[in-house]
Amino acid sequence: MEKLNVLTILVLTALNLSTVSVALLLIMGQGISRAARLAQFSLLSQTLGWVAIIASGFAFGHWLDPVLSTMAMVMASVANYLMFLALQAWLGPRRNQRALLALLILMPIGYALSFENYSLRVGYANLLFAIQLTIVAQAALGPRQPASLRWRALVALCYGAVACASLARGVLGAFYPELYPTFDAPHPVNVAAQLTANLALVLTTVAVLVAWREEAEGQLREQAFTDNLTGLLNRHGWDDRAPALFDQARRHRTPLALIMLDLDHFKRINDTQGHEVGDQVLRMVGKVLQSNRRSSDLAARIGGEEFALLLPQTDKRAALHVEQRLRLALLEEGIQQPTLRVGYSAGLALLKPNDQKLTDFMVRADTALYQAKAQGRGRLLQAD
C-alpha cells in the first residue's frame, strides 16, 4: 500500500503536468512572447519526463528500462534549461547558461554509462539535477531586474526546494541503496521529494501565469505610451518618463539638454503629396531619432509634427553635435528618398538652476524653436 502511495503521487504529478500544459496553451493562446512559450515548453518537457520515468518502472528488467530512464533524464534537463531561457527572456541575461547547457549534455550521458551501477547512477543523476535546479533558482533572483520580486521569489523557492529534495534523494540512493532500491520506494525522503515536486509544480505554474500577466500589462503600458506611427514615445509617455530624468538632473546637478524640433512646411507636404506621404515622412523622422539617440535619451513625438529629444549628461557642445548629426541623417534620407525630403527648425534649452519644473524647461526650448521658425526656419536657436 505504501508503494502504491508513492506511485500514485508520481502518476498524479504526471497528470497534473499534462493538465497544466494543456491549460496554459488554452489560456495564453497563440500570440504570446518567446518567454511565455518557453515556459510552456518547459512544463511540457517535464510532463514527458515524468511519463518516461513512470513507464520505465513498468519496463523494469527489460531493455526499454534504460532507454526510458535516460529519456526521462533528458526531458527533465531540457525542462530546466527551457525555464532558464524563459527567465532570461523575461529578465535579461542570466549567469551560468553555459554551465546549465553542459549539465544538460552530461546528465543523460553519465546516467546511461552508469546505468548498471545503481548507487552511482542515482547519486550522479540527482546531484546534477540539483545543480541544474539551483542554477534556475539563482536565475530567478538575478540582480537589477524591474520585474516583480514576488513571482521571481516563488520560482526560486520552488526550484530551490526541489533541488534540496533531489540532493537528499541522491545521498540516500548513493550511500543507502538498500533503503531506496527503486524510484518508487516508500522511504520518507522519497515520499517527501515527490510531494515537494508536486507542490512546486502548482506554485511554479502560478508564478508563470503572474509573470505572463505582468509582461502583458507592461506591453499594454508600453503601447499606451508609444506613438503608433513613429515608434517614439507619445505625449503620455513623455509626461510619464521625462520628469524623472529632469528631477534626477536637478538633484545631482548634472547637465541636461532639451531639443524641440518642428518639421518645416509639413502642412504643405500633406496638402500637395497627401497624408500617406506625410505619414512616411513622420516614420522616417522617427527612425532617424531612434537610430541617433543613446539608450539613456528620451525621444518623443509631442504633437503633429513636433518632436522632443531629452539628453541627460549632455552639455551645449554635445547637444549641438547631436543636433548636427540628426540634421545630416535627415538630409541623407532625403537624398535617398527625395519625395520624403524634409527639414526642421529646432530650439535648444540647457538646464538652469531656475528651471524648477519640466514645463519651465520645455517652454524655454519651445520659445527658441518658434524664434528659429520666425527667423527663416531650417536652423537651431538656443534658449536665452
Positions marked active-site: 305
List the alpha helices (DSSP H) in 141-274: 149-175, 188-224, 235-252, 266-273
**Closest to 359 (Cα-Cα) out of 371, 349, 346, 373:** 349
DSSP state letters, 160-192: HHHHHHHHHHHHHHHH-TTT--STT---HHHHH
The residues, any chain, with a CB within 8 Å of residue 313's CB and separated by 6 or more, are 254, 255, 256, 296
The residues, any chain, with a CB within 8 Å of residue 243's CB and separated by 6 or more, are 358
SS3 100: helix
- The amino acid at 34: R
- Contact between residue 242 and residue 320 where contact means Cβ atoms under 8 Å apart: no
**Closest to 174 (Cα-Cα) out of 134, 131, 114:** 114
| Cα distance between residue 289 and residue 346, in whole Å | 14
| Cα distance between residue 346 and residue 261, in whole Å | 4
SS3 6: helix
Q: 83: exposed, middle or buried (C-beta count within 10 Å: 0-12, 13-18, 19+)?
A: buried
Pairing of strands 256-263, 298-301: unpaired
Residue 320, CA atoms < 13 Å, CB-side half-sphere? 8
The helix-helix angle for 188-224 and 2-28 (nearest 10°) equals: 10
Which grid cell is 27? 489560456
- Contact between residue 86 and residue 78 where contact means Cβ atoms under 8 Å apart: no
